[in-house]
Amino acid sequence: MKNLGFELNDLFDIAQVDALNLMSLQEDKDFLLMQRQNGRPGIMLGVDMNIAQKEKRANERLKMSEKRRKRSYDEIQSLNAQVEMCSSSESDVTEDDFNKPGSSKMYVKQPTRGSIDFITSKLAAALDKCKISDRDAVHILISTEEALGGDVEKLIINL
C-alpha cells in the first residue's frame, strides 16, 4: 500500500521534462530538484515581491480613493449647510433696489421663455460643485426635461 502512494506522488510530478534546462535561476532549479526527491523536502519560503508590491499599491490607491470620497462628502455637506443658511436668512435686497436709476438691470430675473423657475439654490450649488459651466448646465437641464417628457418652453432655464 505504501508503494502505491509513492507511485501516485511520482505520477503527479507535473514539471516539464526539460524544466531544468528552461530555468535560468539557480534557486528555481534547486527547488525543483528538492521536489523530485522522496518525501518532497522542498518548501517555498519568502514572499513574491511583485505581488506584494501590487497589493501594496492597490491598498494605497484604495485608501486615497476613500480619502477623496470622504473629502467630497464633507465638502457637499458643508455646501448644503451653507445653502440652507443662505436660503433661510432673509435678504435685505429687494427687487426695487435693482430698478433704481443707475443700478444694473442684469440682476433682475425676467422670465423670457417660461414661467416656472425650478432652479433652486441647492441645484445651483450642486452644478457649481461639479464644475459644470452655465452653458453646459443649460444643455443638461433642457435634455433632462425633454427626456422626462416635459415642456421646455414653460421653464426658466437661465443660470
pLDDT of amino acid 98: 52
Cell of 36: 523530485
pLDDT of amino acid 71: 92
Q: How confident is the model at residue 100 (pLDDT cuts 50, 70, 90)?
A: low
Rounded to whole angstroms, how far apart are CA atoms 16 and 26? 17
Q: How confident is the model at residue 111 (pLDDT cuts 50, 70, 90)?
A: very low
- For residue range 1-15, list pLDDT tens digits in order: 455 555 665 566 667
Phi, psi (rounded to 5 degrees) for 39: 85, -5
Rounded to whole angstroms, how far apart are CA atoms 157 and 159? 6
Rounded to whole angstroms, how far apart are CA atoms 112 and 154? 10
Which stretches within 36-133 are classed as H helix? 49-88, 95-99, 121-129
Question: Mean of the pLDDT values across residues 46-65?
Answer: 88
Residue 122 has pLDDT above 80, yes or no: yes
Q: Which secondary-structure segment (H or E) carries 147? A: helix 134-147
Rounded to whole angstroms, how far apart are CA atoms 157 and 134? 10
Locate cell 437661465: which residue?
158
pLDDT of amino acid 147: 87
Q: How confident is the model at residue 77 (pLDDT cuts 50, 70, 90)?
A: confident
Q: How confident is the model at residue 69 (pLDDT cuts 50, 70, 90)?
A: very high
Question: Mean of the pLDDT values across residues 84-98?
Answer: 58
Mean pLDDT, the chain, whole residue set: 75
Question: Mean of the pLDDT values across residues 43-71?
Answer: 87
- Read off the pTM: 0.31
> For residue 36, what are the contacts with CB-CB under 8 A and spacing of at least 6?
13, 15
- Residues of the chain with pLDDT > 70, as a percent, come to 66
Question: Mean of the pLDDT values across residues 61-74?
Answer: 93
Rounded to whole angstroms, how far apart are CA atoms 67 and 137? 28
